[in-house]
Amino acid sequence: MTIEERLQEKYGTTAIPEFASWLLNDGTLINGTRDGWQRDIDHHEIGEFFKRSKFEDLGSSYIYIKKFMRRGNIRMCCGTTDYCCEIWGTPTMEQFKTLKRVFASARQRMCRTYVDWHSKSGNRYSGSWAEYLRWLYRYSNLIDTYEYESLLYQYE
């Protein structure tokens, strides 16, 4: 069983962006709530699904978050005022579809949007959803010109 399958089995899935802690390769949002009314599962808990790293010491559990993101998974953090995510590499088409739905929800709720993304060459960028769309349009084949212009029109 993969880490993603074990994670999904333990926490389940959600359709509510505010409850999501991860977005898997297949576009599935992982439930990040125990109580059912707020996201209360920390991203660092992903470490329990990995073998202990020889580089781990007190306070370095971010290494497991990076490992999980390098597997193609996206870190989600959506709240009542801000929607954000952290991406390593280019999202899959399924993830992109879910992200479009999530950030459309942010727009409807008049929330600010943030995306932190890491290119394949290791560069890190930060910006709004619209800025991330510009980057995707330029450096990936996920968005064609018509969709790009339509999406930017909605977010600017």
- Tens of pLDDT, residue by residue over 13-70, are 999 999 999 999 999 999 999 887 788 889 989 988 988 777 666 666 788 899 999 9
Dist. CA 142–CA 53, nearest whole Å: 34
Residue 19 is given by DSSP the state: G
Asked whether residue 93 carries a pLDDT value surpassing 70, the answer given is: yes
User: Please, are residues 7 and 30 in contact by the beta-carbon 8 Å criterion?
Assistant: yes
Lowest mean pLDDT among 30-39, 53-62, 125-134, 139-148: 53-62
pLDDT at 125: 96
CB 133 within 8 Å of CB 127: no
pLDDT at 54 (0 to 100): 73
Cα 76 from Cα 115, distance rounded (Å) = 10
Pairwise pLDDT comparison (39 vs 98), residue with the higher score: 98
- Domain range for residue 134? 3-155
How many angstroms separate the CA atoms of 130 and 134, rounded? 6
Token pair 């709004």 in the structure block, residue:
128
- Please give the mean pLDDT across all residues of the chain: 90
> What is the count of structural domains for the chain?
1
Model pLDDT, residue 91: 96
